[in-house]
């Protein structure tokens, strides 16, 4: 049976394609894709390229069997599908960051800007703090610089964005990496194909 795979396009796609190739998939059509978003040439694997949060929508609605997506999105959306494998690529981390004069012990209720309100809420709940959260769509680092928020919760990979905007880390929240998730029904119906792909990917990860 054909496995339908939703792959997060962009950075995740580039990091995961070598692993998928090692696991036996012909990834050349994706490498040379131009503006194409769907790849049905291989009878074993049909692949689509989608934005991370949309990968889970396709999976949750049963339009796709397998999703390859960052754990940041899985955690933020509290994904109910099966998280089967950590692909150990796309590694980065969530941090609380701000300007040097930020006081984590300030008594006034903090305002936190983030693309990830649920992860932010969870973090402050675990340390017993009630904060106001402002949802931002990108370039979150701007928020403390212009007085929109006291601090941000965001992803750090190399640390360059924080450094170049004179922000520093005040707390480490949780790690992030790319995961393979499976639709519950697909796992029953295509068990052999899914397990084979996972085993091949596990081998590819170990060889890396």
C-beta of 143 vs 194, nearer to ligand PRP: 143
Tokens 């052999």 correspond to 192
| 19-38 positions binding ligand PRP, by CB under 6 A | none
- Number of chain residues interacting with ligand PRP (CB under 6 A): 12
C-beta of 32 vs 160, nearer to ligand PRP: 160
C-beta of 11 vs 46, nearer to ligand PRP: 11
Residue nearest to ligand PRP (CB): 138
| 114-173 positions binding ligand PRP, by CB under 6 A | 138-141, 154-161
Residue 10 Cβ vs ligand PRP, minimum distance, rounded to whole Å? 8
C-beta of 161 vs 200, nearer to ligand PRP: 161
In the chain, what's the furthest Cα-to-Cα distance? 60
Residue 152 Cβ vs ligand PRP, minimum distance, rounded to whole Å? 9
Lookup: tokens for 141: 């680092």
Site residues (CB under 6 A) for ligand PRP? 138-141, 154-161
């Amino acid at each position: 049976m054909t496995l339908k795979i939703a792959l997060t396009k962009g950075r995740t796609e580039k990091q995961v394609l070598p692993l998928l190739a090692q696991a036996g998939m012909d990834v050349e059509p994706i490498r040379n894709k131009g503006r194409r978003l769907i790849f049905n040439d291989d009878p074993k694997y049909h692949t689509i390229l989608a934005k991370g949060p949309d990968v889970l929508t396709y999976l949750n609605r049963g339009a796709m069997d397998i999703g390859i997506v960052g754990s940041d999105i899985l955690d933020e959306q509290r994904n109910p599908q099966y998280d089967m494998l950590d692909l150990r690529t796309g590694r980065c981390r969530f941090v609380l960051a701000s300007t040097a004069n930020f006081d984590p012990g300030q008594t006034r209720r903090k305002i936190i800007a983030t693309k990830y309100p649920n992860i932010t809420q969870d973090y402050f709940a675990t340390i017993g703090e009630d904060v106001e959260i402002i949802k931002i769509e990108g370039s979150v680092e701007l928020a403390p610089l212009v007085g929109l928020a006291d601090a941000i919760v965001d992803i750090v990979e190399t640390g360059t964005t924080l450094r170049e905007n004179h922000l520093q880390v005040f707390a480490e929240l949780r790690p992030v990496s790319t995961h393979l998730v499976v639709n519950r029904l697909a796992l029953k119906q295509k068990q052999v194909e899914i397990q084979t792909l996972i085993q091949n990917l596990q081998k590819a990860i170990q060889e890396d």
